[in-house]
Amino acid sequence: MRIFFSKKHHLLEMINAYLQRASECMDAFLSGFLAYLKHEECEGLQQFVEQINRTEAEADDLRREIELTLYEKALIPESRGDILGVMESVDKIPNKAQSVILQIDTECLHIPEMFKNDFRQLAEVNFLTFKDVARAVQALFDNAREVRKITAEIGVKERASDAIERGLIRKIFLSSTPVGEKILLKELIIETGNISDRAEDAGDRLNIIAAKRLI
């Protein structure tokens, strides 16, 4: 790929470091979400909140460093905008995962046992969309032809998330759960589903850039 010669390898190393921190943030998101489903204890959630806040902040620092490097010394202008756009769209995914966990922590939501398996599936499929995005970013630099295949997998998972969301909301509103709890649970479902929506947006951007590279 033409944008990465000699000194620009340092930029690729920073992008990989960013993906590593963002991935750690997503790992803490899934672990925290599943732990809360199992024990439903806000106190037990704190260690995951701290991990998410720390790794998300570290990822943000790396993203800013990458942006400064792009502007100050590394890439030719036509590539700079593409990479900046990718970094900004990818960064919205751990940001949303962080807000989901903070929502659970703030509201100490009660999730009835009958819905927990659906919530577990929802969290897992949304977590996996980020893993695909990270793969697609790396493929952009290693083999752009792989990007479309990976982003197609993101699309499949995003649609699976939508199906789980609709089914779970329907199930909740058909139940005898108090109305106030129904509304709070619906908000949590939609916010969790927004993770894969953002992953799909990042995938769309990656697809466009990969197509440009292959011309």
Q: Are 23 and 127 contacting, i.e. CB atoms less than 8 angstroms apart?
A: no
Global pTM?
A: 0.91
| CA distance linking residue 83 with residue 203, whole number of Å | 13
CA-based end-to-end distance of the chain: 12
pLDDT at 141: 87
Whole-number percent of the chain with pLDDT over 90: 80
Distance CA 54, CA 91 (A): 14
Q: What is the pLDDT of residues 135-158, one digit of tens each?
A: 999 999 889 899 999 999 999 999
